[in-house]
Amino acid sequence: MTLKFGTSGLRGLVSELRGPPAFIYTAAFVRMLQDRGSLKEGSKVYVGRDLRASSPEIAQLVHAAVAGAGLVPVDCGALPTPALALYANSENAPAIMVTGSHIPEDRNGLKFYRADGEIDKRDEGDIVQIHAGMKDTVPPRSPVEPARLGAEPSRRYAERFLGFFEKGSLSGLRVGVYQHSSVARDIIVDILRGLGAETIPLGRADHFIPVDTEALRPEDVALLKDWAAAERFDAIVSTDGDSDRPLIADNDGIFVRGDLVGAITANVLGADCVVTPVTSNSALEHCGHFARVLRTRVGSPYVIEGIGTALAEGARRVVGFEANGGVLLGSTVEKDGRSLPALRTRDSLLPILCALSAIATTGRPLARIAADFRFLAGASGRLEGVPSENSASFLGKLATDAAYADKSFAVLGGVANIDNRDGVRITARNAEVVHFRASGNAPELRCYVEAEAQSRADELLGWGLALGRAQILES
């Protein structure tokens, strides 16, 4: 069974999620809220989905489980995850998003939101425990007809940005929008045009494409460069499948790393504290733009927890982000009489608009804006089809066997430091960084590296993936 909670929601093979599992996990989520007194009979639960072929069927099972608990399922249709979260939060109601985010189409998942935001790790544990006691539950044979909401959540989501960024603020920019199968592919175009940008849709797909903003496919890298070479763009933008993570490329079609996009966003918004996982670039502490950098484990629940810590310790304007580019606005931002309320869930549109705003405001290309942060060159990749137990064995040896780690990293001068907060992040004696961690969403071993030059980072990533592959094959 592949179904499990990862860094953001429940994920697994469609064949294992479809049917009783989707129904029972949803029933366990609403039961948890009912047991805590957060839901009363007749309360609404908002349900959205991405554009995967399996998502409508799974959404029907979610509707049935909600109705079976004496609650009212409200179908919000296909919309971005942050749009669903924003709307449900404004209505003081829970929400469920049917999405597998960036993972392949043969997989899917569920993201659960309490009325006050994303579920946390304690909630995940409670859902799993309740689920274990409901394993014999059978979904009804007849589909449930949910209430239907229409486009209101997406409209409110668009108004969030159109009301904060000044009208015409992106005038003069020419932006390509890589639409593929992103559930936000139309709303991005509408918002950018609403702010004055000339917007050109690109690469719209009629089937699901697993765009991973943390590890771009070679096809996506080639597309971005080809589009940039064929036409003049100030930037090319996109998102992952459920649109909670951005993809941004500069005028040459070169992808801008997610943690760098997060740093640009935080700087545009005037953050005095950024909260980000250990996988984000080491230069954040030294770039001079932020008074404080608070590091966490990978995953939005940990970033949200870190945002709470930062606010409790006196930070006034907090922006959280992950290396995959998802930005969480930890506190309300006021600017020129306009307000952008906090939204503590990953969002793709805010970083896209902040990056474009930086270009429009400074008149400088995105590559030069990015260079101001003095990031070390980075690269990330993954080994697919690696069972979690194999990853655990490799990571465990690196973390606990100093002689093994030093021997493995001998070509880099050996090991200078090991950080075990999430996976194994090794700083070698030559000052280069190689970080291994098992994916929380799929059977993958991820590798992140940092070096002085991009050519060296790419070389180092190849070396790291080869090391992982060799050691895992031997185990």
For residue 135, the model assigns a pLDDT of 83
Give whole-number Cα distances, 145 to 41, 137, 322, in Å: 17, 20, 38
Work out the percent of the chain whose per-residue pLDDT is above 70: 99
Q: pLDDT at residue 142 above 80? A: yes
- Quick check: 475 pLDDT over 70? no
Asked whether the CA dihedral 32, 33, 34, 35 is positive or negative, the reply is: positive
Phi first, then psi, for residue 232 (nearest 5°) are -85, 120
Catalytic-role residue among 101, 243, 380, 439: 101
pLDDT digits (tens, 9 = 90+) for 9-55: 899 999 999 999 999 999 999 999 999 999 999 999 999 999 999 99
- Beta strand segments in 50-194, E: 72-78, 95-98, 107-114, 117-118, 147-148, 174-180
* Gap between the Cα atoms of 93 and 87, Å rounded: 9
Cα distances (Å, whole numbers) of residue 4 to 15, 122, 233, 443, 444: 14, 14, 41, 11, 14
Would you state the pLDDT for residue 215? 79
**pLDDT the model gives residue 225:** 97
- pLDDT tens digits, residue range 167-176? 999 999 999 9
Compute the distance between CA of residue 270 and CA of residue 233 in angstroms, rounded to an integer: 27
Alpha-carbon distances, residue 133 vs 31, 162, 205, 208, 467 (angstroms): 11, 46, 41, 35, 42
> Within 13 Å and on the Cβ side, how many CA atoms surround 349?
30
Question: Residue 331 in contact with residue 284, Cβ under 8 Å?
Answer: no
Secondary structure element (H or E) that encloses residue 354, with its range: helix 349-362
Mean pLDDT on 182-190: 98
Q: What pLDDT does 196 receive? A: 98
Q: What is the tens place of the pLDDT at every residue in 276-333?
A: 999 899 899 989 999 999 999 988 999 999 999 999 999 999 999 998 889 999 999 9
CA-closest candidate to residue 224, choices 255, 199, 257: 255
Q: Can you give the pLDDT at residue 441?
A: 66
Between these two residues, 212 and 352, which has the higher pLDDT value? Answer: 352
Average pLDDT over residues 399-411: 95
pLDDT on residue 36: 95
Q: Supply the DSSP symbol for 143.
A: P
**pLDDT for 123:** 95
Give the pLDDT band of residue 472 (cuts 50, 70, 90). Answer: confident
Q: Which of 395, 403, 402, 397 is nearest to 421 (CA)?
A: 395
Given a contact cutoff of 8 angstroms between Cβ atoms, the answer to whether 119 and 112 are in contact is: yes
Give the pLDDT mean for 227-248: 97
What pLDDT does residue 202 have?
Answer: 98
Q: How confident is the model at residue 458 (pLDDT cuts 50, 70, 90)?
A: very high
Q: Residue 389: its pLDDT value, please? A: 87
Which uninterrupted H or E stretch holds 265? helix 258-268
Q: Helix (H, G, I), strand (E, B), or coil: what is residue 117? A: strand
At residue 141, the pLDDT reads 85
- How far does Cα 78 stand from its chain's mean position? 18
Q: According to the model, what pLDDT value does residue 269 have?
A: 97
Average of per-residue pLDDT values in the chain: 94
Is 154 annotated in the active site? no
Q: Stretch 191-207: mean pLDDT, rounded?
A: 97
Q: What is the DSSP letter of 136?
A: T
Give the tens place of pLDDT for each residue, 60-119: 999 999 999 999 999 999 999 999 999 999 999 999 999 999 889 999 999 999 999 999
**The pLDDT of residue 1 is above 70:** no
Range from 182-186, 381-385, 449-453 carrying the lowest mean pLDDT: 381-385
User: Is residue 189's pLDDT more than 80?
Assistant: yes
pTM above 0.85, yes or no: yes
Type of residue found at 277: P
Each residue's pLDDT tens digit, 416-456:
999 999 999 999 999 999 999 998 767 899 999 999 999 99
What share of the chain in percent tops pLDDT 90?
86
